[in-house]
Structure 1
Amino acid sequence: LASAIPVVGDTIVTWLWGGFSVDNATLNRFFSLHHLLPFLLVGASLLHLAALHQYGSNNPLGVHSEMDKIASYPYFYVKDLVGWVAFAIFSSIFIFYAPNVLGHPDNYIPANPMPTPPHIVPEWYFLPIHAILRSIPDKAGGVAAIAPVFICLLALPFFKSMYVRSSSFRPIHQGIFWLLLADRLLLGWIGCQPVEAPFVTIGQISPFVFFLFFAITPILGRVGRGIPNFYTENENRSNDYQ
């Protein structure tokens, strides 16, 4: 991906590889990165807990309230512990009894460094990004297409047009959300298919639906408020006094 950057792309690739090709230095760097990431996730979780104690929790309705707060322990602790145990049981079934179910048979074939593999498939969680990347034939264009994906995901919490963040009383937003989920599943399926018709055409249409969600979400925050006007008026009035 870095090689698509003009002028300095090749220099960045050489710096990331630690040489002019993938070698032992490259493997050591990525192994160290994979070893470091879990600790970064733990640190981010601790920051989340600190913010939870500082600013308080949200609620299913998404209504800001300083009165009806719930303590982190035992409610949130037990609630998250139940989800963690359920996930651990579900994942343990694959780990201990069916470790090859989610794998790819080609992984057991010894690699040949001379030819390029005819069909390269990334891990399942990278498949939607891979589908957007290859939806544009040009390499630089594909890299430029996946950059807005991360920008949109990072910008979503900062959309201030939504009086209520919850979708409980916003049927239009619910429909758009399920459309986004279906589009993500479609992108994941397209990402593991060979580069041929009709998968190429579907892969070029699906990213538009994905970006459409983030384009109309601020508008839906104004149109489908789904909450009585007196709350929004009081909220605006309190903001004016502040």
Structure 2
Amino acid sequence: MSFPWAREYQPTNGLMKFLDEKLPLPRLIYGAIGAGYPVPRNLSYMWNFGVLAGFCLVMQIITGVVLAMHYAPNALVAFATTEHIMRDVNWGWLMRYAHANGASFFFVVVYLHIFRGFFYSSYKAPREMIWLLGVVIFLLMMATAFMGYVLPWGQMSFWGAKVITGLFGAIPLVGEPIQVWLLGGFAPDNAALNRFFSLHFLLPFVIAGVVILHIWALHIPGSSNPTGVEIKTEADTLPFHPYYTAKDGFGLGVFLLFFLGMVFFLPNFLGHPDNYIEANPLSTPAHIVPEWYFWPFYAILRAFTIDFFFIPAKLMGVLAMFAAILVWFFLPWLDKSPVRSGHYRPLFRIFFWILVVDMAVLFWLGGAAAEEPYVMFSQLATAYYFLHFLVILPIVSSIEKPKPLPYSITESVLGSDKDTAPAAAN
């Protein structure tokens, strides 16, 4: 977004002047994350998650590249090279634990980022493209994480690959050819391991490219804020540096305390013990589960147990699992309220917290056994999940009466004697 009061970049020495003329990278950085980028003055710590997600991506790429130097994508030695990294490579154990737990923390940050977007309606105009690119990033993350989980070639890696790729077999006509194409054969083996390794190495750089587009799209309308009121004057803004670099730095410090505590003291807490057993196609684990960050969508997949007319239950589950994420693409048009922030939408706020509880239940059910009463609970939670986005959200956005909004961002921070503007006017 172009602000007339944004500070212009002024090189301070000869080298910076030369760079600014020949390769204006300092100017670009100054305008993107420096003092030349004004942002709303009322951003809370809920706006830290974007920076934390970027840090996680960089950390995953660096640790992943180091691990790739010592890993062999061959079914005969993949498990052994993973153990070699842990036992023989200098600091290999740290690289692997940081990478494995980094994926979990990456998803924690992104889930919080998404639900912050739900509450503050960050998907509304003029920020639809930012939201849509964010959903694309999430889908790419899920594909990357799934392929990475296969690489250690433990029991859960092998059977997870077999079960998840087997879902494509439920698609009529083209399902089985797609499954064979993904695996390079009829079961996970060398071909599948090579393909998954190649894609797992490549996709983070694709994610990085989409992240650049995501940030570019963000700079056109500017950041949202807790009130949902757009910037009106210079008084509504602060330069990103030093105010928000300091705030993001504090948030990053807190994040690193939790992350390093997990890496050094509970490195296997989020993993599965069966994955420390080498893959055996002749021995099926008693309870096959994906990584925890897939659990809500795995619960939705398993919620369908009865054929619906000519549609098999397995196909219904696969379609519902993908639809659970794809429905997010339509949020800018499903939520018709003129008010963005959940702080000023009392009815919306109630249903938002019900959705949070429902999602927490789906997380729990995704890791539970595929038996009663968990299947029934999954069906109820899945029904509410889709009901929230497709029915409740459009109705609530049409009928609720929002609270009055502050006239400006400055007023929401400092207070004012002015009358607040009508909600619909913002």
Question: Which residue, 163, 178, 186 being the options, matches 1:12?
Answer: 178
Matched, 1:205 2:380: yes
Identity within the alignment, %:
45
Question: Which residue, 191, 196, 205 being the options, matches 2:371?
Answer: 196
Closer, same or farther in 2 for the Cα pair 1:192/1:155, shift >3 Å? same
Larger radius of gyration: 2
Closer, same or farther in 2 for the Cα pair 1:221/1:151, shift >3 Å? same
Closer, same or farther in 2 for the Cα pair 1:234/1:156, shift >3 Å? closer
Closer, same or farther in 2 for the Cα pair 1:165/1:56, shift >3 Å? same
Matched, 1:26 2:187: no
Question: Which residue, 116, 122, 145 being the options, matches 2:320?
Answer: 145
Give the structure-2-normalised TM-score. Answer: 0.51
The structural deviation recorded for 1:104 is: 1.8
- Residue in structure 2 matched with residue 238 of structure 1 by the alignment: none
**Contact kept in structure 1, 2:335 and 2:393, CA below 8 Å:** no
Q: Deviation string for 1:43-102 (max 9, x for gaps)? A: 233223322322212121112334334443334433333323322221111112221222
Closer, same or farther in 2 for the Cα pair 1:78/1:28, shift >3 Å? farther
**Contact kept in structure 1, 2:226 and 2:341, CA below 8 Å:** yes
Question: Which residue, 394, 401, 413 being the options, matches 1:218?
Answer: 394
The structural deviation recorded for 1:173 is: 1.3
Question: Which residue, 280, 299, 303 being the options, matches 1:112?
Answer: 280
**Which stretch shows the higher mean deviation, 44-53 or 18-27?**
44-53
Give the structure-1-normalised TM-score. Answer: 0.87
Matched, 1:167 2:335: no
Map 1:35-184 → 2, pairs under 5 A:
35-67=201-233, 68-137=236-305, 138-159=313-334, 161-184=336-359
Aligned AA (2:184) = G
**Which stretch shows the higher mean deviation, 3-12 or 30-39?**
30-39
The structural deviation recorded for 1:136 is: 0.7
Aligned AA (2:277) = I
- Residue in structure 2 matched with residue 231 of structure 1 by the alignment: 422
Q: Deviation string for 1:114-152 (max 9, x for gaps)? A: 143331111000000000101112211111211221121
Counterparts of 1:26 and 1:95 in 2: how far apart (Å)? 29
The structural deviation recorded for 1:198 is: 0.9
Counterparts of 2:205 and 2:378 in 1: how far apart (Å)? 35
Aligned AA (2:398) = R
The structural deviation recorded for 1:175 is: 1.4
Q: Deviation string for 1:197-224 (max 9, x for gaps)? A: 1111111111011112212112222222
Number of corresponding residues: 235
Counterparts of 1:23 and 1:31 in 2: how far apart (Å)? 12
Q: Gapped runs of 5+ residues in structure 2?
A: 1-166, 306-312, 406-420
Counterparts of 2:228 and 2:357 in 1: how far apart (Å)? 24
Cα RMSD of the aligned pairs, angstroms, is 2.1
